[in-house]
Amino acid sequence: MPLPRRWLADTLGSADFARVFTVTVIATIAATHLIERLAGTPTLVTIIAAECLIAVATLVVRRGELSALRLLPMTLLVFLAWSLASVVWSVDPGASFIRWLSTAAVALLAVTIGHIRDTLQTVRAVGDVARWLLAISLGLEILSGILLDTPFTFLGISGDLAEWGPIQGVFGTRNMLGFFSVIALVTFAIELRTRSVRTGVAAASIALAAATALLSASPTVFVLVIVVASIAGVLYLVRRLPEGRRTPVQWALAGVAAIGGVAAYLQRSEIIRVLGAADDLAMRTELWRLMEFYVRRYPVQGWGWFGPWDPQESPFAIINYLLEERHTTALNAYMDALLQLGWAGVAVFVAFFALTFARSWLDASRRRAAVHAWIPLLVAALAVVSVFESFTLFGIGWLLLVVCAVRAGQSRSWRERLGSRTGAPDLPRSPGDHSLDG
């Protein structure tokens, strides 16, 4: 092999490069709002395109370590294929295809991360990025709301910290900041349990994430924290059961969760009233009522994939015109999938969530190391926030969901059993994975 090619292969295949690549990708996707406001959309697109080229090159260099059977979760492949097919009947096939490319690009980056880093290494990368972005967010809010007492409109920061929020940080909206803060809280807690960072750093990080979550004044934060804490408690108890009793107990817990979900849905108005979000509910209800009219026109296939709404395209432009609003999503990932991909797309999206959570839950209940709890807790948070926002269909929410699906599929998949019978190569496990198993 010529020297330049050998050097490139050694670089792309190294652990140091994998670490830098993972941190860079997560930082880019998490800070898309900041990058767009500071450098423009073309710059953001160029960065992501360059990262995709590097991701493809990395997978090619590491092809000997990968198994074709386990490269992509089947539900992810079906979801991307159906989204691509929807371009054909979209109101604007060209724009829809470009939007699909952006969705596929983030999925490619996530799949690459899922294959070149183990779970603990991914936790560390998310934690490092979260510490910086939340610290920068709080610093800018202090500068805007207290020291200068002027909004930073070019970043979307209102400067309301002196009134105890709501704050937006570098994420553009309070709900996005609140969501990312909860993700950071889960990640920092896992870092503390696994002792992957110093105790002082982990404690300070948890305090930072809790502060930004509270100051965001996002009603979804309280729901997310309650759900994640409840699932963490249940997982803790399940892990301590004898192996023979886990299966019936987990089926019972699934039944209780289903009943609790139905009860929460029936009492949703009271819950929203307690959270102080009645006005927000009225706005969302009107939005979804209008969307239902368009869903009935194309109930199975939807209107075509766009991800975040294009305000110039139908039916998004008409919905916003009738509401006299400027919505960029349906404020619900499942409703967005229904409008754009129809019932077929929603079924695949829900199956993607369900299989990812089930695989990660079974793996976490079987393996006692704290790091294995990160994926089911994260997937649960993503599933719940999808009821209130569409974050999981694009950006950092979509990236994390795909990463979790890839990692969960490594250990709990029908393809693992098939691969063991056909002699497909196993992915190498890092020392972090070996040493953390109970």
> Half-sphere exposure of 218 toward its Cβ, with a 13 Å CA cutoff?
27
**pLDDT score for 142:** 94
Whole-structure pTM value: 0.90
Measured CA to CA, the distance from residue 210 to residue 203 in angstroms comes to 11
Distance, CA of 189 to CA of 193 (rounded, Å): 6
Asked whether 170 and 133 are in contact (CB, 8 A), the reply is yes
What per-residue confidence (pLDDT) applies to 345? 94
Helices 93-116, 41-61: inter-axial angle, 10-degree rounding:
50
Question: What's residue 266's pLDDT?
Answer: 65
Q: How many CA atoms lie within 13 A of 329 on its CB side?
A: 22
> Per-residue b/e over 148-186, b at no fewer than 16 CB within 10 Å?
eeeebeebbbbbbbeeebbbbbbbbbbbbbbbbbbbbbb
The whole-angstrom separation of Cα 356 and Cα 76 is: 10
Identify the pLDDT of residue 165.
Answer: 77
Quote the DSSP letter at residue 195.
T
Give the model's pLDDT for residue 243.
Answer: 73
Q: Where are the alpha helices (DSSP H) in 147-242?
A: 174-194, 199-216, 219-239
What is the chain's length? 438
C-alpha distances (whole Å) from 332 to each of 14, 291, 325 are 40, 11, 16
Neighbours of 428 (CB within 10 A): 9
- The span from the CA of 100 to the CA of 85, in Å, is 10
| Residue 422 neighbours by CB distance under 10 Å | 10
Closest CA to 22 of 114, 141, 102: 114
How many CA atoms within 13 Å lie on the side-chain side of 166? 16
Backbone angles phi, psi at 331, to 5 degrees: 60, 30
Alpha-carbon distance of 221 to 255, in angstroms, equals 25
Residue 423: φ, ψ to 5°:
85, 20
* Contacts by residues 10-16 (CB-CB < 8 Å, ≥ 24 positions apart): 12/54, 12/57, 12/58, 12/61, 12/62, 13/58, 13/61, 13/62, 15/430
The secondary structure of 306-370 as a DSSP string is: -SS--TTSTTHHHHHHHHT---SS-SSHHHHHHHHHHHHHHHHHHHHHHHHHHHHHHHHHH---G
Long-range CB pairs of 394-397, under 8 A, 24+ apart, other chains included: 394/102, 394/103, 394/106, 394/307, 394/308, 395/29, 395/30, 395/32, 395/106, 396/26, 396/29, 396/30, 396/32, 396/180, 396/183, 397/179
Distances (CA, A) of 367 to 114, 118, 239, 363, 438: 19, 15, 8, 6, 6
pLDDT in tens, the chain (438 residues): 565 667 677 778 888 899 999 999 999 999 999 999 999 999 999 999 999 999 999 999 888 887 766 788 899 999 999 999 999 999 899 999 999 999 999 999 999 999 999 999 999 999 999 999 999 999 999 999 899 889 998 888 988 888 887 999 999 899 999 999 999 999 999 999 999 999 999 999 999 999 999 999 888 888 899 889 989 988 888 887 777 777 787 778 777 777 876 776 666 666 666 665 666 777 888 888 899 999 999 999 999 999 999 888 888 999 988 888 888 899 899 999 999 999 999 999 999 999 999 899 888 888 878 899 999 999 999 999 998 889 999 999 999 999 999 998 876 554 555 444 544 444 444 433 443 443
* Helix, coil or strand: residue 55: helix
Tokens of 187: 């990640």
Q: Is the peptide bond before 308 cis (omega within 30 degrees of 0)?
A: no
CA–CA gap between residue 103 and residue 402 (Å, rounded): 11
For 152, the 3-state DSSP assignment is strand
| Nearest of 73, 143, 150 to residue 114 by alpha carbon | 73
The residue type at 27: A
Torsion of CA 262, 323, 308, 96, to 10 degrees: 120
Query: Which pLDDT does position 275 carry in this prediction?
Result: 61
CB atoms within 10 A of CB 203: 13
Give the model's pLDDT for residue 202: 94
